[in-house]
Amino acid sequence: MRRRGAAASALALVALACLPASAGANGGSGTSILRRPPIIRTTRFELQGSNGYSILIASGSRQHVMVKTTSEGEELVTEYVTRDLLAAPDRVRAKLPGLIAISVRFYPRGPLRHPSPPGCKGRRPAVQHGVVRGTIRFIGERGYTRVEAHEANAEIEEATSWRCSAAAAQPEPPPPTHETWTSKFSAQREGVYLLVRKYPPGAIEGGEVLYSADAGEIVSMQPKLFIYRHATIAAPASTFADAHPERLAVSPPAPFAGTGRLSRTPESVFTWEGDLTVQFPGIDPVPLAGPGFGSDYCIREVGCIQQSFDSHS
């Protein structure tokens, strides 16, 4: 699981590097000159937060800083993305009152390394290990986790054009994919997405049903703050009652609570209702059922029940 978390972090960092830079970073040049693509340089450091959370802080070359908290069992992940106020190669600075206060400088230690994980090809990246020193303070909403430090082990990585085979980089058995589910259900409305997949016995650890919920919100544009929250949990098949072809009831365990029900009305509209919620860290429970949700329920090789997003309005 730990390795999977590291892989997820790497993906998040790639996503971070792909975020658009602010307009000020473009320099305002009106001349069209073909340039080499910018080097993607990522500074990252990881700390241990309170209440069992690990906290990863990463800054990319596109003037963004990400703070990512992961619960001990990795069921709950929250990412905070804001603007790097300095965007210097060896410095990171971000400030969101009451949430994030980071102002550090990177000090290299040891030689520049060019790691070569198995299954990767192309020019290898350059990784410089070292420490960051300065102010590192993060307090999650309602204090669900916090960290305060003045120094942390860190590394700066300059990505290159190397390509890695996912299979080779993942020595564990691959996680269940969309190829193996027997039935699945999803419900979504703006900013919230619930996905439930049911697998044959033994296909996944911890049960036959995998629940995941995602929620994203733009908290503010000035200062820029985007928060993405993710929860996932495996549960027994009894939590996903789909014996009747047109009725469905899901009652996943914590961090979820309550029950969501899919049913067909005399108008042949499929409603997704109930008190199902997900408890993300530090905020009120987020409803996952009710008016405004569209839904999609599929049984493999049988068909799908779909209901449009705005069907209940």
Partner 1 sequence: MGRRRLGIGLAIVVILVAAAGTAQAQAKLRRGGKFEVQPAYASGVVRLGKREGYRGYLFMATNGVAILELVRIDRRGEKGTVSLALYAVHTRGSVDETVRARFGSLGSFSLRFRPNGDVQDEGVRSGCEGPSTVTEHGWFDGHVTFHGEHHYLDFTLPGGTGQLERSFPLVCEKGKAFHLPTHRLQPYVVLSSFFPTDGNIALLYASARRHGRFTGIVAGHRNGAPPGAELRFESFESRGAMAIGRYALAETPQGALLTSLPGQHPATATLAPPAPFYGEARYRETSAHAGAWSGNLGIDLAGLRLPLTGPGFHARLCVLSPLGHRKGCDFFKAEPEYDERPARPWWMAR
Could you tell me if 120 and 167 are in contact, meaning their C-beta atoms sit under 8 angstroms apart?
A: no
Select 164 or 305, whichever has its Cβ closest to partner 1.
305
According to the binding rule CB under 8 A, does residue 243 interact with partner 1?
Answer: no
User: Quick one: which segment of 25-33, 69-77, 154-162, 299-307 binds partner 1 (CB under 8 A)?
Assistant: 299-307
Q: The tokens of 169 are what?
A: 């980089």
Select 230 or 312, whichever has its Cβ closest to partner 1.
312
According to the binding rule CB under 8 A, does residue 306 interact with partner 1?
Answer: yes
Please give the Cα distance from 108 to 131 (Å, whole number): 7
User: Quick one: which segment of 82-90, 149-157, 170-178, 266-274 binds partner 1 (CB under 8 A)?
Assistant: 266-274
Q: Phi and psi at residue 72, in whole multiples of 5°?
A: -60, -45
According to the binding rule CB under 8 A, does residue 188 interact with partner 1?
Answer: no
Task: Tell the smallest beta-carbon distance from residue 140 to partner 1 (Å).
Answer: 39
Report which secondary-structure segment, H or E, holds 3.
helix 2-18
Task: Tell the smallest beta-carbon distance from residue 298 to partner 1 (Å).
Answer: 8
According to the binding rule CB under 8 A, does residue 135 interact with partner 1?
Answer: no
Please give the Cα distance from 44 to 153 (Å, whole number): 9
Q: The tokens of 190 are what?
A: 């703006």
According to the binding rule CB under 8 A, does residue 39 interact with partner 1?
Answer: no
C-alpha closest to that of 288 among 185, 193, 217: 193
In Å, how far are 26, 189, 240, 272, 310 from 287, measured between CA atoms?
40, 10, 18, 12, 16
- Total binding residues toward partner 1, as defined by CB under 8 A: 19
- Which residues of this chain interact with partner 1, rule CB under 8 A? 245-246, 264-269, 299, 302-308, 310-312
